[in-house]
Amino acid sequence: MSDDSYPMHQCKRCGARTRTGSPCMAPAMRNGRCRMHGGASLSGRAHGRYKHGEFTKAAQEQRRRLRELLKLAKQFLDRA
């Protein structure tokens, strides 16, 4: 595909309604909306910077519960 077969100025446009009532018309991303109107950013595995999941909310919560369990176990042993 050569460059002039799909000129940038003819790409899909964002259809979000602006404050003036007209469509946004900024260049759209794959979801059909422009960078301002694309909606919430991605999280978890879908996020572009996701590496190994070590710092996901679920993983951090899991470690927090494990620490709490260990703390209780140590307290229990100290009393015995």
CB of residue 36 to Zn ion, shortest distance in Å: 5
The position carrying tokens 């002039």 is 4
Cα dist. 21→24, 26, 35, 63, 77 in Å? Answer: 9, 14, 19, 49, 68
Q: For residues 24 and 56, which CB has a smaller minimum distance to Zn ion in the complex?
A: 24
Sign, Cα dihedral of 41, 45, 51, 52 = positive
Q: For residues 5 and 20, which CB has a smaller minimum distance to Zn ion in the complex?
A: 20
CB of residue 31 to Zn ion, shortest distance in Å: 11
Say how many residues touch Zn ion, by CB under 5 A. Answer: 6
Q: Interaction with Zn ion in 9-48: which residues (CB under 5 A)? A: 14, 16, 24, 26, 34, 37
- What residues make contact with Zn ion under the rule CB under 5 A? 14, 16, 24, 26, 34, 37
